[in-house]
Amino acid sequence: MNRTIENAYRDFPILTGNPDYSYLDNAATTQKPASVLEAIQEYYSGYNANVYRAIHRWGEEATRAYEESRTKTAAFINAPSTRQILFTSGTTDSINLAASSFCRRFISPGDEIILTEMEHHSNLVPWQIQAEHHGAVLRFIPITETGELDLEVLETLWSEKTRLLALTQMSNVLGTVNPVKEITAEAHARGVKVLVDAAQSVPHMRVDVQDLDCDLLAFSGHKMYGPTGIGVLYGKEELLQELPPYRGGGEMIRTVTLEGSEWNELPHKFEAGTPNIAGAVGLGAAIDYLNGWGMEAVEKREAALTALLVEGIRGLKGYTLYGRAPERGGIAAFCREGSHSHDLCSYLDSKGFALRAGHHCAHPLASKLGALSTVRASVSFCNREEEIIHLLETLETAGSELF
């Protein structure tokens, strides 16, 4: 069989090794292709060493591989320079870094930060912590009936005191893709900085930070076919220069005396201690893997699978699908009349489908939807149409067996 994106699952040992199980929890984490697993194995078995410090061949090789991943990451999101790519442990870590450093530098009591009602807890709680510490006020863009941001209300939220707007590019519950570029332009017209949570978007669409013009952007390696424990914070260089460091320790300093320290240059100022070298190497391999297909092909393939899934669930009797935004990614959250979502999810697992049930770490959104717990299917290009058709049939016939 020719290698095409329709049979990309063949690149994933866990998928070929479990042909009777359908993995539809890609928004939580993605599976890893063989090339990513091999890159990590090669690092540990071929040239494992700490970066920067070692004057030996393995140290040099590890440093080269670590920095090469930074170069690949910068190119992947079209960042102008590798100095703007900070390696973190994931989206959550990236946003905590951004929130802490931004608020220490720019927030005074009474200043305002705008968030949205559809944020994952990791783009909400770090701002709550900083707002409490610095006396900032949080404001929220509400969502409409269709699960989109209410931009008319946003018009009323801006004030002289607004300093930053932080929003997700794609909701991890509704699948809604937000008009980040337009909102960023609105924010900049008022001198407001913008942080984008791109955890769900970078793995599934072409994200170009220069086109979006956002000031900060966060994402995770494990949601884009790379390993856990590695993530990225992109920032505009001028802004990153102005922000104070987040964590102190080795590598992030230029000089240290007992009285005080001077910071290293970008990006090292924000990378204290031994980084996740294997994670960065794995992320670089994941980017190579995605580039091998091309993000346009990924998007096209996932749009077809999403249409099948979303239209299919909409057509099922007794099911409610949450979110009707026309601009959406491959995420579908739903409930079945008369069934608890955890029971439905366990039932689906027994039938060979991995989905997720709960509030999906977006408690305020779940409350707003009036569905504290939903079942969520999330697709990737490595899923097959048969899997989705089989899931829809299983949902349709789920009946007395469920209780």
Task: Give catalytic status of residue 214 as yes or no.
Answer: no
Interface with ligand 7TS includes 227 (CB under 6 A)? no
Q: What are the backbone angles phi and psi of residue 384, rounded to the nearest 5°?
A: -115, 150
Shortest Å, Cβ 109 to ligand 7TS: 28
Interface with ligand 7TS includes 22 (CB under 6 A)? no
Considering CB under 6 A, how many residues would be counted as binding ligand 7TS?
Answer: 16
Q: Is 330 exposed, middle or buried (0-12, 13-18, 19+ CB in 10 A)?
A: buried
The vertex-34 CA angle with 387 and 173, nearest 5°, equals 45
Judged by CB under 6 A, which of 92, 130, 184, 383 binds ligand 7TS? 92
Interface with ligand 7TS includes 149 (CB under 6 A)? no
Q: Closest by alpha carbon to 324, among 316, 335, 337, 314?
A: 314
From 96-104, 115-123, 180-188, 337-345, span contacting ligand 7TS (CB under 6 A): 115-123
Angle, helices 295-314/385-397, rounded to nearest 10 degrees: 20
Query: Which residues on neighbouring strands pair with residue 216, listed in sequence order?
Result: 195, 235
- When the beta carbons of 15 and 232 are compared against ligand 7TS, the nearer one is 232
Number of helices followed by number of strands (H, E) in the chain:
14, 15
Shortest Å, Cβ 52 to ligand 7TS: 25
Judged by CB under 6 A, which of 72, 120, 134, 301 binds ligand 7TS? 120
- When the beta carbons of 232 and 398 are compared against ligand 7TS, the nearer one is 232
Interface with ligand 7TS includes 27 (CB under 6 A)? yes
Sign of CA dihedral 378, 383, 389, 394: negative
Interface with ligand 7TS includes 117 (CB under 6 A)? no
Interface with ligand 7TS includes 26 (CB under 6 A)? no
Residue type, 157: L
From 47-55, 58-66, 84-92, 335-343, span contacting ligand 7TS (CB under 6 A): 84-92
Shortest Å, Cβ 133 to ligand 7TS: 21
Is residue 379 within 8 Å of 388, Cβ to Cβ?
Answer: yes
Interface with ligand 7TS includes 402 (CB under 6 A)? no
Residue type, 62: A
Interface with ligand 7TS includes 333 (CB under 6 A)? no
- When the beta carbons of 62 and 218 are compared against ligand 7TS, the nearer one is 218
Q: DSSP for 144-187, please give it.
A: -TTS-B-HHHHHHH--TTEEEEEEESB-TTT-BBP-HHHHHHHH
From 58-66, 88-96, 180-188, 237-245, span contacting ligand 7TS (CB under 6 A): 88-96
- When the beta carbons of 336 and 360 are compared against ligand 7TS, the nearer one is 360
Which residues does 397 contact at the CB level (< 8 Å), separation at least 6?
Answer: none
Interface with ligand 7TS includes 172 (CB under 6 A)? yes
Q: Which residues in the 28-67 window bind ligand 7TS by CB under 6 A?
A: 28
Is residue 391 within 8 Å of 381, Cβ to Cβ?
Answer: no
Angle, helices 277-293/34-42, rounded to nearest 10 degrees: 150
Shortest Å, Cβ 326 to ligand 7TS: 20
Longest CA pairwise span in the chain (Å): 71
The vertex-332 CA angle with 326 and 334, nearest 5°, equals 115
Shortest Å, Cβ 74 to ligand 7TS: 20
Q: What is the dihedral of CA 284, 288, 291, 292, to 10 degrees?
A: -160
Interface with ligand 7TS includes 269 (CB under 6 A)? no
Interface with ligand 7TS includes 197 (CB under 6 A)? yes
Judged by CB under 6 A, which of 63, 122, 380, 383 binds ligand 7TS? 122
Residues with catalytic roles: 361
* Binding site residues, ligand 7TS, CB under 6 A: 27-28, 90-92, 120, 122-123, 168, 172, 197, 199-200, 220, 360-361
